[in-house]
Structure 1
């Protein structure tokens, strides 16, 4: 077990990491180009996540610097109590210990997620996808350089070069203690980890996010929110489903204009029975498509009778990630936001904001669709557990 490093040392390592990322910028981009050229798959969203350009390196540097500037999440007092027998009782945040992060194709996770885990006093085991291996190994090499600079053990950040079978074996019988696993990826990866893990798992779930255009919607806002929701198809906060209130004034005109805009952006538009008939769209073959997360240039539009029906529909089909209501009616917005069972609920704003950086956390380890122990973006202050500190002078019960 690694002994907790002082906050000064943790911050110094993070700032050194930011420096090294700047120094090695060209080298990281060149190595990543090799990974991109070697990728033979046809998953456009994976290719998008795999790519590292100057902008991505800037984001990595910003993440490392921002983490160094944040308060220490370890040892924060959450509760205190003076027992009648004189004992002083505290409850304080504590590191998990060792966190395993399993992720696909995103070399920036090797900086951001590892940085969050490290800053919160955890040892990190990184298991990246084979498609980003060389990019990841280069970044881990920089982590080791930064750790050595301050006399810290390089095993604070460890890369697991495992294939699927080796990963399964490690999950079922870890060769070292693992306290928490965070799988970041598609549903297959999450199901695989849940099936084989022997310790707690934070589920970074699927998107399949909904926008509801209520009858009192501002239609410009509705259009902007929907278009923005499809601006990055590889993101888990993208919009896949749009529900239109059947009582929306000028409904047909609005839907028609929206479809034209989506098609201009090369987005395939599907419709339920009503919308497809009214707008000459391909109708959906079965209701099961409402469960699907597209991760593609594709959107499904349906008609809905009421806010209550919308809430029921989202709670049945969505991935529990994000949903948005577009309305000028505060009461309807409140009803929607209180009753829709997603990690983030929006009123007149884009689901694309479900992101640790955008919601004030500085960065994120993952976006959890679980309800324990943290929901939505998991930031630095959430990657801790807690511990009771009890000070006495001989009290017995």
Structure 2
């Protein structure tokens, strides 16, 4: 087990990492271009997540710098109690130990997620997808360089260059202690990890997010929010389903405007009435598709979302605050919105500075997993000889 590094050392490593990312910007982009050229799949959302350009490098640098500026999440007092016998009891945050992150196609995860795990005092095991191998290895090389510069062991950040069989073997019989696994990717990856893992797993679940346009909606606002929700089809916070209240004034006009704008963006509009099965309602598209259906009430919208959504994000668009309150209290998703886009379900956008993943579990953390969530806790009890009678 690695001895916890001082907060000064952890911050210094992060700032040096930010510096190296800037200095090696061209090399990172060039190596990533090779990964892009080598990708032979037809998954457009994976290709989108795989790409690293100047803007993406800027985001990586900003993430490392921001993490360095945040307070130490380790050793934070959550509870204190003075026992009748004089013992002083504290509950404080503590690192998990070793965190394994399994992810697909996103080289920026190798910076942001690893940075969050490292800042919170954890050793990180990174298992990226084969499609981003060259990009990931380059970024891990910079992590090791930054760690060495501050006399810290390079095994704080370790890359597991495993194929699927080797990954399964490691999950079932780890060759080192693993305290937590966080899979980031599609449903197949998550199911694979859940099936084989022998330690706790935080599920970074699917999106399949809904927007409900209530009868008292501002329709201009509704158009903007739906279009924005579809602005990045590869994101887990993208909108896939739109429910339109059948009592919405000028409903036909609104639907025609919406379909026209979506068509201009080359987004295929699917109509619920054209599907005999309800399987389409469960599906996360990660594609230029959106499904539009009709609903008769707030209660029906809540029921439909709770049945079919991935438990990620949902929106109500309405001028009626009471209706919004009922919707937000009863929809069972990690994030609920009133008159705002699902695209804000993101650690940086919700004030966390970044995220390891977005959890659709209810334990240990729900929604974006930020720096302050990648810790467990332990009890510190100070006595002077007390025994229990």
Shorter-chain TM-score tier:
over 0.9
2:152 alignment partner, SS class: coil
Q: Structure 2: how far apart are the matches of 1:141 and 1:41?
A: 27
Where does the alignment leave 5 or more consecutive residues of structure 1 unmatched? 274-282
Report deviation, 1:131. Answer: 0.3
Matches of 2:249 and 2:66, distance apart in 1: 47
TM (normalized to structure 2)?
0.99
Structure 1 residues 69-100: Cα deviation after superposition (integer angstroms, max 9, x where no partner): 00000000000000000000000000000000
Equivalent residue for 1:392, pick from 376, 383, 386: 383
Distance in 2, matches of 1:67 and 1:204, equals: 21
The equivalent residue for 1:280 is none
Aligned residue number for residue 248 of structure 1: 248
Q: Does structure 1 residue 331 correspond to structure 2 residue 322?
A: yes
Alignment of 1:56-71 (within 5 A): 56-71=56-71
Q: What is the deviation of 1:125? A: 0.1
2:150 corresponds to which residue? Answer: 150
**Once the two structures are superposed, what CA deviation does each residue of 1:182-201 show, in whole Å capped at 9, x if it has no partner?**
00000000000000000000
1:371 maps to: 362
Could you report, residue by residue, the CA deviation over 1:272-314 in whole angstroms, capped at 9, with x for unpaired residues? 22xxxxxxxxx12421100000000000000001000000000
Q: Hey, what's the Cα distance between the residues in 1 that align with 2:33 and 2:256?
A: 41
Alignment of 1:1-397 (within 5 A): 1-273=1-273, 283-397=274-388
Q: Which runs of 4+ in 1 moved over 2 A?
A: none
What is the number of residues matched between the two proteins?
A: 388
How far is 1:327 from its partner?
0.1
Shift of 1:124: 0.1
What is the CA–CA distance in structure 1 between the aligned matches of 2:291 and 2:34, rounded to whole Å? 36
After superposition, give the CA deviation of every residue in 1:294-337 in whole Å (9 maximum; x if it has no partner).
Answer: 00000000000100000000000000000000000000000000
RMSD of the alignment, in Å?
Answer: 0.4
Residue-by-residue CA offset, 1:240-297 (whole Å, 9 max, x unaligned): 0000001001111111111111111100001122xxxxxxxxx124211000000000
Superposed displacement of residue 171, structure 1: 0.2
SS at match of 2:176: coil
Secondary structure of the equivalent of 2:21? helix
CA distance in 2: counterparts of 1:294 and 1:153, whole angstroms: 42
Q: What SS class does the counterpart of residue 92 from structure 1 fall into?
A: strand
Report SS of the residue matched to 1:211: strand
Gaps of 5+ in 2: none
CA distance in 1, matches of 2:291, 2:132: 32
Question: Residue 165 of structure 1 aligns to a residue in which SS?
Answer: helix
Tell me, in whole angstroms, the C-alpha distance in 2 between the residues paired with 1:388 and 1:345: 34
User: CA separation in 2, counterparts of 1:272 and 1:66?
Assistant: 44
For residue 28 of structure 2, give the secondary structure of its aligned residue in structure 1.
Answer: helix
